[in-house]
Structure 1
Amino acid sequence: MRGYLSSTYLVALGSNRRHHRYGPPANVVRAAMEELAVLGTVTARSAIRATPPMGPSRRWFANAAVVIESQLDPEAMLAGLQHVEHEFGRRKWRRWGDRVLDLDLILWSGGSFASKALIIPHAGLPGRDFVLRPAREIAGGWKDPASGLSLAHLAARLTKKKGQPR
């Protein structure tokens, strides 16, 4: 719905397939960061990182995150993200499969949100280093409304060395 009060969104980007126009995954993510301006104002961008595959995929990913200020409500933002994915050639196949572009709505300034199509915060947020590292870079103080922990704290939990058993 347009005309919604301005909100801030944290969006994770990922790619592990070449694009016929943009080339390798890192270039796909870079181009997608530019394209996201159609949904609002991109106010922060993380570095793009190479990350190992998750699930059945064998190809490494390029991952990043952006912060977007927008007048779109969460469901309209999701629809916009899905449209951008489609424009980049994303087709829904199997879960965790190879993809040209994956855009996930991770957090928003309104806290928690739930509808039939969307749940914020993203369910995988606390356990995904490939999301938390770039997100922490640009929005480390943002808090996960489910746990109350900052993105920096969640990222630290993933990288903390486990103690030796006694």
Structure 2
Amino acid sequence: MSSLYLVALGSNRRHALYGAPEGVVRAAMEELAAFGTVLARSPVIASAAMGAAQRRFANAALVLDSELSPPALLAALKRTEREYGRRRGQRWGDRVLDCDIILWSGGAWRSGSRSTGLVIPHPEFRRRAFVLAPALAIAPAWRDPESGLTIAQAHARLTRCRPLPR
């Protein structure tokens, strides 16, 4: 039985074969077809560096129809990151490729602890415009099983104008 996954991709380091981060993300989106059928690909967007990262990121999202279970897909994504040259290191640092499962058609999933295991929906996606903006382009009606909000609603809440404090 197959499941649908919303996968976020990001890069902010060059790759010898794929070039600039945008090229890395585009190549990785093609390679993830090895894990199922890619039903939709977002445009690649540029976003500011975050945390310890020093360079701007290229970010995108895709919808994948896959026979893999969430842990099996996560293992495949982590293997792909390593194949692209990702090394374990500083959290939120510069990286050639980062792939995260954001949502899946099975609802919520938890294995292990929040810091070491797999948690779906991704615990931070609601606060990350660089995840929500690409996801909005391809999956606006997908619902967060915890909040009940669609991607479009979560994006609107995150990006709406707020009055300045007095």
CA distance in 2, matches of 1:165, 1:124: 25
Partner in structure 2 of residue 162 of structure 1: 162
Q: Name the residue aligned to 2:67.
A: 71
Summarize deviations over 1:57-93 as a string: whole Å, max 9, x none.
Answer: 1200000000000000100010010111111111110
Distance in 2, Cα, partners of 1:12 & 1:156: 18
**C-alpha distance in 2 between matches for 1:14 and 1:138:** 16
Q: Distance in 1 between matches of 2:5 and 2:88?
A: 23
Distance apart, 1:165 and its partner CA? 5.3
With over 3 angstroms needed to count, the CA separation of the structure-2 counterparts of 1:65 and 1:162, relative to structure 1, is: same
Q: State the secondary structure of the residue aligned to 1:93.
A: coil
2:98 aligned with 1:102:
yes
Partners of 2:95 and 2:26 in 1: CA distance = 15
Residue 147 in 1 paired to residue 154 in 2? Answer: no
1:165 and 1:86, CA in 2 relative to 1: closer, same or farther beyond 3 A?
closer
Q: How does 1:1-166 map to 2 (within 5 A)?
A: 5-116=1-112, 117-163=117-163
- Partner Cα distance (1:127, 1:28) in 2: 24
Q: TM-score, normalised by structure 2?
A: 0.95
The 3 A distance-change label for structure 1 pair 24 and 73 is: same
Q: Deviations over 1:110-161 (max 9, x none)?
A: 0000001200000011100000000011000000111000000000011111
Aligned length: 162
8 A Cα contact 2:81 2:99, kept in partner? yes
1:163: how far off? 2.9
Any conservation in 1 of the 2:61–2:135 contact (CA below 8 Å)? yes
**What is the TM-score of this pair, normalised by structure 1?**
0.95
Query: 1: distance between equivalents of 2:126 and 2:9?
Result: 16
Quick one: distance in 2 between partners of 1:164 and 1:87? 45
- Whichever residue aligns with residue 77 of structure 1, its letter is L
- Secondary structure, aligned partner of 1:26: helix
Q: Report the RMSD for the aligned CA atoms in angstroms.
A: 1.0
Same amino acid, percent of matched pairs: 59
C-alpha distance in structure 1 between counterparts of 2:65 and 2:136, whole Å: 17
Q: Which runs of 5+ in 2 are unaligned?
A: none
2-structure distance, mates of 1:92, 1:35: 21
- In the TM superposition, structure 1's runs of 4+ consecutive aligned residues that sit over 4 Å from their partners are none
Task: Work out the CA distance in 2 between the residues paired with 1:105 and 1:152.
Answer: 18
- Structure 1 unaligned spans of 5+: none
